[in-house]
């Protein structure tokens, strides 16, 4: 008999569960007791994989609870599941994903469970995410300041920006304390930041949100981040190559580092200039720099060796 595949659709108050190939489905409350009951029920099934849709953070407690019960858990990207459902003609673009579709996706893609981040890594990821939100709010207030003319509104914006700057400084302190509390992270940050163009914010984003760095080959890690190009193709027709999917926050951090590296990292600057001189569009050259930078960082963490430009 084939091993069971479980799909779980997470909402604020409930968990919709579907099992393949038996077709069994049931609903459980998204509470501590409900998650414990679900873990016990799934342990009896002994599934090959338990796929949970990422749902704005609601899935975190569920995934952690099931993983602690030694169940093979994977958190799946809802955009990928929705695209899979559309390919099957089962869902309109705006229709919700259900547990049966999630289970079918995990079965069809032969999903493999990955270790979930530990509590310290999750906390660092949350701190990094909050820092990103504060920076975005500061940028939004800066844009408003350039548009408004009323002095009272300008003063309001100044007060809010000062409060956000204070909050940002406190968050940076917390992130620094958090990283310095882990010798492993201190070493990894030092390795990553040895590459010209990679600062503390980028290094810590990679530590928190790309823990697989150094454990995968360059193609797999590029695909995980969404920097692996894919081409639209139908029969003999081939369209343009695109990047996308993967971990957007990591990809954005790498783009920021790539822009700095393309100016100040002599190895990557030569790489970028060579592409532009060959007629490649500047945006395409930047994507290539980001991908090469990721490959370099992956090798540095894997080999535990600081940046050496002569071998890059």
What is d(CA 170, CA 134) in angstroms, rounded to the nearest whole number?
Answer: 11
Distance, C-alpha 37 to centroid of its chain: 30
Q: Is 234 helix (H, G, I), strand (E, B) or coil?
A: strand
CA dist 251 and 187 (Å) reads 22
Q: In 3-state terms, what secondary structure has residue 128?
A: helix
For residue 29, report the phi and psi dihedrals to the nearest 5 degrees: -65, 140
Looking at per-residue confidence, does 112 or 116 come out higher? 112
* Strands 230-234 vs 5-10: parallel, antiparallel or unpaired: unpaired
pLDDT tens-digit map of 3-34: 899 999 988 888 999 999 988 999 999 888 88
pLDDT reported for residue 217: 87
For tokens 């007629």, the residue is 279
Stretch among 30-39, 104-113, 229-238, 253-262 having the lowest mean pLDDT: 229-238
Where is pLDDT greater, at 70 or 150? Answer: 150
Which tokens go with 158?
Answer: 């100044």
Q: Do 43 and 136 touch, CB atoms closer than 8 A?
A: no
Q: What is the pLDDT of residue 245?
A: 59
Q: What's the pLDDT at 93? A: 44
* Superfamily the domain 5-108 falls into: ATPase, nucleotide binding domain (3.30.420.40)
Residue with tokens 């080999």: 303
Which among 27-36, 60-69, 180-189, 287-296 has the top mean pLDDT?
287-296
Residue 312 or residue 146, greater confidence: 146
Ramachandran class of 34: left when φ > 0, alpha when ψ lies in -120 to 50, beta otherwise: alpha
Distance of alpha carbon 290 from alpha carbon 255, whole angstroms: 6
Q: Which of 24, 18, 10 is nearest to 49 (CA)?
A: 18
Flag whether the pTM goes above 0.85.
no
Tell me the pLDDT band of 311, cut-offs 50, 70 and 90: low
Alpha helices by DSSP H, the chain:
32-45, 59-68, 78-87, 99-108, 119-147, 151-180, 183-193, 200-209, 218-225, 248-264, 266-277, 282-303
Break the chain into its structural domains and give their ranges: 5-108, 119-208, 210-311
Q: What is the pLDDT of residue 32?
A: 82
CB 228 within 8 A of CB 199: no
Least confident of 35-49, 73-87, 155-169, 275-289: 73-87
């Amino acid at each position: 008999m084939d091993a069971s595949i479980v799909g779980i659709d997470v909402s604020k108050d409930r968990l919709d569960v579907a099992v393949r190939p038996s077709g069994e489905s049931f609903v459980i409350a998204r509470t501590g007791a409900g998650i414990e009951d679900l873990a016990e029920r799934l342990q009896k099934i002994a599934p090959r994989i338990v796929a949970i849709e990422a749902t704005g953070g609601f899935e975190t407690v569920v995934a952690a609870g099931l993983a602690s019960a030694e169940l093979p858990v994977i958190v799946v990207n809802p955009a990928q599941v929705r695209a899979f459902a559309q390919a099957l003609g089962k869902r309109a673009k705006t229709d919700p994903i259900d547990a049966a579709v999630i289970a079918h996706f995990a079965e069809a893609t032969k999903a493999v469970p990955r270790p979930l981040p530990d509590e310290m890594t999750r906390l660092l990821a949350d701190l990094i995410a909050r820092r990103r939100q504060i920076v975005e709010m500061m940028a939004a207030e800066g844009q408003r300041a350039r548009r408004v003319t009323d002095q009272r509104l300008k003063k309001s914006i100044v007060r809010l920006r000062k409060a956000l700057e204070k909050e940002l400084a406190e968050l940076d302190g917390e992130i620094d304390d958090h990283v310095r509390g882990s010798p492993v992270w201190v070493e990894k940050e030092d390795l990553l930041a040895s590459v010209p163009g990679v600062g503390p914010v980028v290094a810590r984003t990679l530590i928190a949100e790309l823990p697989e760095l150094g454990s995968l080959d360059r193609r797999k890690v590029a695909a995980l981040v969404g920097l692996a190009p894919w081409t639209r193709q139908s029969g003999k027709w081939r369209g343009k190559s695109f990047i996308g999917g993967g971990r957007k926050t990591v990809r954005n951090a790498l783009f920021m580092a790539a822009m700095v590296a393309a100016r100040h990292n002599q190895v990557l600057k030569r790489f970028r200039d060579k592409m532009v001189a060959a007629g490649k569009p500047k945006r395409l050259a930047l994507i290539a720099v980001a991908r090469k930078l990721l490959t370099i960082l992956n090798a540095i963490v894997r080999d535990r060796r600081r940046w050496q430009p002569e071998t890059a």
